[in-house]
Amino acid sequence: MTSSAKLRTNFRPYRPKFIAALNGVGRLLETLGLRANLDADSLIAAARRKTGLQDFGDESFRSGLEVLTKSLDREAHLHPAGRLIMRQRLIGLLAVRLKAQALFARHPEIRQQPIEAPLVIVGLQRTGTTMLHRLLAADPRMRAMRSYEAMNPISEEYPANTVDPRLKSTRMAEKALRYMAPEFFAIHPVDAAAPEEEILLLDYAFLSDVAESLADVPSYAAWLEQQDLTPAYEYMKALLQLMQWQQSQRPVQRWVLKTPAHLGHLDILFKVFPDAKIIQTHRDPARTSASYSSMIAHGHGVFTDEVDAFAVAAHWHRKCVNMVEAALRVRAEHPDAFIDVSYYDVIKNPMAQVQRIYAFAGIELTAEAVAAMEATRRENPQNKHGVHSYKLEDFGLSLAQIRRDYGPYSQFFAIPEEGKTS
C-alpha cells in the first residue's frame, strides 16, 4: 500500500454503536428493496402531505431538486441512517417552501419589507467569520438569522411562556449531531440559538453548495457551476423579508449576514442587495485549507462510511481558489463597498476591528452594543469546544500547491504566512 493510500484510509468517520447497529439493520432491509426514497416526486408528495398545502408558486426549484436527489441516490454512498436523515431534511426544505408561498399569497406586503445596506461578512472559511458574525449580531440594533430560523424561517403560533418549537427541534438536532459527530464541535461551533449562515436559505432553492458540504455529489456540483444563482439569492431575500415581517412589532434592524460562499457570487449579491456593505476577512490559506478540508470530511462522515479525504480537499481547494478570484473581479466594480479585516487582528483585538467596521458602515458604536459584544466574547472563547488539529498532508494538499494557487490573492491583500506574523 502506498503512503498516499494510507493517508486516504486514515480518515474513519466516527460511528456510535447505536447508529452502526441501525445501519446494519438498514442494509439488511435494503437487500429486500426497502430503503429511504430520495426520488424528487416522492419528496414533493411527502411535503404536501406534511403541510396539507399544494401550491409551491414558482416551481423552477424542481430542476435543482431532481439533479440533487439523483446525485445523492447514485453517487453519495449514503449509509441507511444517512439516507433517512437526508430524506427528512429535503422534505423539510420543501415544506418550508409550501408554507412560505401560502404566506406570500396572503400577505403580499411581506415582499415590500425593506432590507437596507446589510452588513455581509465574507471570506474564506476558517478566517474568523463566525467570531465576527457573533460579535456584530450581539448589538441589539442588528438582526441576524439564528440557527433555528435557518432550519425553519416560519414562526407559527405557540403558547405564551413556552419555548419556540423551532428552537426545541433545532436543539434536538444539535444534540443528535453532537452524538453522531462529537469532534465536529471543535471544528465549527453549532448552537441552535446562535447566528447562522444564510447559505442555508439559498438551499431552499436547491441552488447552493450546502449539499457538497454534506455529501459527495459530483454531478450536482458540476450542474450547479453552470447555473445562474440569482433565483436563489432572490428567494433568500424573500425569506429574510418574511422573518423581518414576523417581527413587525420591533423596529426594522440592520441585517448582519455571513456566508463564505458569497465570495463566488458577489455580483449576484449586489444585484439583489445593491447597497450591501461587504466585510471580507483574510487569513493564511495554508491554515484555512487544512482546517476547512477537515471540517468537510467530518461533515461527510455523518452521512456515509466512505469518505475520501483527498477528493474532498481537492474539490474544495479548487472551489475556494475560484471564489477568491471571482471576488477580486467584483471588488474592482464596487471599491467603496468593501472593508478588509485580518483574522490576526480580530484575534488580537476584536473590538478595534468592530470599531473599524462600524465607522465604515456609518453606524454609531454605542456603549450598549459594546457591552453586549463583550458578553458574547466571554461566553464564546476561542477553542470553547476543544482544539481542532489538522495538517495539509492529511488531505493530500501541499504547502507549495497552496502558495502557488492562492499566490495572487495572498499578494493582493498582503496576507502574512502563519508562523511569520508579528
Banded pLDDT at 45 (limits 50, 70, 90): very high
284, 287, 290, 293: CA torsion to nearest 10: -60
Q: Is the pLDDT of residue 421 over 70?
A: no
Nearest to 267 by CA among 147, 122, 169, 146: 122
Mean pLDDT of the chain: 92
The CA distance from 283 to 326, in Å, is: 17
Write the CA distances from 161 to 158, 165, 408, integer angstroms. 9, 12, 55
The residue-averaged pLDDT of 93-103 equals 98
Q: Is the pLDDT of residue 5 over 50?
A: no
Please say whether the dihedral angle defined by the alpha carbons of residues 270, 272, 275 and 276, taken in this order, is positive or negative. Answer: negative
The per-residue pLDDT for range 171-229, each reduced to its tens digit, is 999 999 999 888 877 776 789 999 999 999 999 999 999 999 999 999 999 999 999 99
Q: Which is higher by pLDDT, 8 or 28?
A: 28
The CA distance from 16 to 304, in Å, is: 13
Banded pLDDT at 388 (limits 50, 70, 90): low
The per-residue pLDDT for range 330-367, each reduced to its tens digit, is 999 999 999 999 999 999 999 999 999 999 999 999 99
Q: Is the pLDDT of residue 57 over 80?
A: yes
The CA distance from 16 to 251, in Å, is: 46
Q: Is the pLDDT of residue 1 over 50?
A: no
Q: What are the strands, taking DSSP E only, across 40-127?
A: 119-123
- Structure confidence at residue 419 (pLDDT): 64
The CA distance from 72 to 89, in Å, is: 13
DSSP state of 337: G
Banded pLDDT at 7 (limits 50, 70, 90): very low
Q: Yes or no: say if 274 and 153 are a contact pair by the CB < 8 Å rule.
A: no
- Structure confidence at residue 248 (pLDDT): 76
Q: Is the pLDDT of residue 2 over 50?
A: no
Sequence-distant (≥ 6) Cβ neighbours of residue 102 within 8 angstroms: 53, 55
Q: Is the pLDDT of residue 3 over 80?
A: no
- Structure confidence at residue 184 (pLDDT): 79
The per-residue pLDDT for range 405-414, each reduced to its tens digit, is 999 999 999 9
* Reported pTM: 0.92
Q: Is the pLDDT of residue 385 over 50?
A: no
The CA distance from 250 to 104, in Å, is: 20
Q: In one letter, which amino acid is 207?
A: L
Banded pLDDT at 420 (limits 50, 70, 90): low
3-state SS record for 162-181: CCCHHHHHHHHHHHHHHHHC
Rounded to 5 degrees, φ, ψ at 259 are -160, 115
168, 171, 175, 178: CA torsion to nearest 10: 170
- Structure confidence at residue 159 (pLDDT): 86
